Amino acid sequence: MLERLHLYLDLIRWNRPAGWLLLLWPSLTALWVAAGGFPGWLLLGIFVLGTILMRSAGCCVNDVADREFDRHVKRTANRPVTSGRISAREALLVGALLALCAFGLVLLTNTTTVSWSFAALAVSLIYPYAKRHVSMPQAVLGVAFSFGIPMAYAAVRAQVPLQAWALLLGNLFWVLAYDTEYAMVDRDDDLKIGMKTSAITLGRWDVSAIMMFYGVFLGSWWWLLAEVPRSPWLVVSWVLALAQVLWHFSLIRERTREGCFKAFRLNHWLGATVFAGVALAYSF
């Protein structure tokens, strides 16, 4: 039983929280902006737990969809489904249970949020298969990983204004930046097996494009969050975020596996910095 539990934890990447943190920070930032400050403990708990559950469910679906490809990639060959330690059916059952728990949390909000949760689920299910047909599947992931933004507005205001969709679009560029860094790690393996990724599509312009993606994200969010008090905290957070972007450039410019993977793994600190600046701007 304990061995099975360890397999399930490995399946949902429990020891690698960077994935759900990348989902969490934009959602929390939107929650604070939609509420004009602290949104309350109930909504905070719903979004934190819901993010962890949905990211974990997404890992289950992704591993089943990619099991034939993952066996040819050094980094993923030993995943539980790919290695046969967990069957595809069992992984999907675990994912369905986690998604059902997340839906239970959504039911504690309002009908608008419940309605949009079905769209969020649909995008999450589409992404694993986009890698076979779309030259920039990271854009599909960008929508999936940004859907917490309109969900946050729906939970607070019972409607999704244009600002929420604009923030989603801006956040999509951040996802393009960090997931292209991630794709650069597996580029050689992906070329052999015919997988489509932004790192392959962008080719020698990958590093330049990533820097542009970061710039669009930070620039658009600074403009779209004009209602957030322009306190020193907000300014400092953006300066620190830009400093991290420059650091990422130093990590990925040589295109080494180690440097690109490190840049990807540490991206959640950039999201945390932006969130901290917004939260502190409303508090002081």
Alpha carbon 58 to chain centroid, angstroms: 11
DSSP for 8-45 reads HHHHTTTT-THHHHHHHHHHHHHHHHHHTS---HHHHH
CA pair distance 178, 263, nearest whole angstrom: 8
Mean pLDDT within 94-110: 96
Provide the Cα torsion 169, 173, 174, 177; round to 10°: 160
Tens digits of residue pLDDT in 230-257:
999 999 999 999 999 999 999 999 999 9
Distance of CA 16 to the CA centre of its chain: 13
Q: For 138-167, how does the pLDDT look when each residue is reduced to its tens digit (9 = 90+)?
A: 898 899 999 999 999 999 999 999 999 999
The pLDDT value given to residue 231: 93
Q: Tens digits of per-residue pLDDT, 254-279?
A: 999 999 999 999 999 999 999 999 99
Helices (H), 71-158: 88-106, 111-130, 137-146, 148-157
Question: Residue 51 has which token pair?
Answer: 């993010």
- When the candidates are 1.10.760, 1.10.600, 1.10.3470, 2.60.120, the CATH number that belongs to 2-121+130-283 is 1.10.600
Report the alpha-carbon distance of residue 117 to residue 115 in Å, rounded: 5
Q: 């939970």: which residue's tokens?
A: 155
How confident is the model over 166-196, as pLDDT tens digits?
999 999 999 999 999 999 998 888 888 778 8
3-24 average pLDDT score: 90
Over 90: is that where the pLDDT of 3 sits? no
pLDDT of residue 62: 87
Q: Looking at the predicted structure, is the pLDDT value of residue 66 above 90?
A: no
Q: What is the C-alpha to C-alpha distance for residues 209 and 28, in angstroms, rounded to an integer?
A: 27
pLDDT of residue 128: 80
Domain boundaries, the chain: 2-121+130-283
State both tokens at 224.
């779209």
- What pLDDT was estimated at residue 196? 84
CB 241 within 8 A of CB 274: yes
Q: Tell me the Cα Rg of the chain.
A: 19
Tokens of 180: 């292209």
* pLDDT over 90 at 65, yes or no: no
Tens digits of residue pLDDT in 185-229:
988 888 887 788 899 999 999 999 999 999 999 999 999 999 999
pLDDT by residue (tens digit) across 75-99? 777 888 888 889 999 999 999 999 9
Burial class (CB in 10 A: 0-12, 13-18, 19+), 11: buried
